[in-house]
Amino acid sequence: MRVTLSRRQFTHLLAGGALTSLLPGRLGDPDQAQRVARAIEQPSRIDGEVIDYFRRVLAEHYTADKMLGPRSLLRPVLAQIDVLDELRRGAGTRHAAPLLQVLAQYAEMAGWLHQDLGEPNSAMHWTRRAAEWSQCAGDSQMSAYLLVRQSNIACLTDDHAAVVQLAGAARRNSDALEPKLDALAAQQLARGLAMLGEHDECFTLLDQAAETLRDHPQVTRQHVPVYLHSYDLDTLQEQSAVCHRAAGRADTAATILQAQIGKLPPNLTRDRGHLTAKLAVAVAQSSLAEPSRAAHLGHEALGIAHQTGSARIRRELQTLDSELRERWPDDTDTRTFREALISL
């Protein structure tokens, strides 16, 4: 997706207050918007308040992503990366490192949005750019987090060895990591091991990650990757469902996912669609023959996939389609769901 919003256009929109149409959250007071606009026009004027402004906007994007999905957010995020990159070129040495740190976090989000759109090459491109900027900023926490993100992207291409190798690299100096980040890397490593059939080690790692999160419910370092602020035991539990599925424990996975869906706030549309699609697959794979329930859940998730543009939901629904056709090829619900999936 190409961004047609120039730096000057962005500045004028920001100064005039019109940028609210592109951003999901609060822009701050008008005086601060003018301050940011002046810094964009003259990067040497950048200061800590301007950098903090972009941090707050990024946090708003993360919140909106759970509701809206990637289609609505990619364009403004890429436009803001262009602006931040211009600021980087003109900023003084005093503000270079924190600016590069924020730029890396925006690039990581661009990678995530491309991943959710089903574009692994673009996702990896932006994640690697984020890794370059985080190295320049001297941000070791972000650098480790980006190895976890690359491991997650490798799941899209079924390169399970890379999933394990990249997540393992992120944990190489685990004592120096933010505890929540170490738990996340352990969770991602467990996922790769589950796909390779190493189930005992997988569940040992998940238990270790849970213990870490119980001991550290809040982040302990400043300016860690934004995602870590919301990463908790519930998220770990939800993510463990894929490991249970891989280990042949679809009933357990379905129980976990049903419970996590029940805890979701109603406005988190994209997240609800993704969990519902995963639940549909688990139901189809479970020991209980419930093709009608699996198909019903699939239809529910299908509507959200169309609304948000989330390819991750569609990927799960393609798995559901395969399961239904393998186990119940002549079932009316199987045929109806397949027709709806093809039409999407």
257 occurs within a structural domain: no
Q: Of 182, 213, 247, which residue is a domain's last?
A: 247
Does residue 93 or residue 23 have the better pLDDT? 93
Claim to verify: residue 172 and residue 115 sit in the same structural domain: no
- The pLDDT of residue 135 is 97
- For residue 126 the two structure tokens come to 């932006």
Whole-angstrom Cα distance, residue 37 to residue 31?
10
Claim to verify: residue 16 and residue 73 sit in the same structural domain: yes
Mean pLDDT of 114-129: 97
Alpha-carbon Rg for the chain, nearest whole angstrom, is: 21
Q: What is the pTM of this model?
A: 0.87
Whole-angstrom Cα distance, residue 22 to residue 78?
12
Claim to verify: residue 3 and residue 129 sit in the same structural domain: yes
Q: Of 99, 133, 167, which residue is a domain's last?
A: 133
Count of structural domains, the chain: 3
**CA distance between the termini of the chain:** 20
- For residue 11 the two structure tokens come to 């500045």
Residue 213's domain spans which residues? 139-247
Claim to verify: residue 6 and residue 120 sit in the same structural domain: yes
202 occurs within a structural domain: yes
pLDDT digit string, tens, across residues 41-96: 655 557 788 889 999 999 999 999 999 999 889 999 999 999 999 898 888 888 89
Number of Cα atoms under 13 Å in the Cβ half of residue 283? 20
Q: Of 190, 213, 247, which residue is a domain's last?
A: 247
Burial of 140 (0-12, 13-18, 19+ CB in 10 A): middle
Q: Assess contact for 309 and 107: CB atoms under 8 A.
A: no
Claim to verify: residue 74 and residue 127 sit in the same structural domain: yes
Burial of 262 (0-12, 13-18, 19+ CB in 10 A): exposed
204 occurs within a structural domain: yes
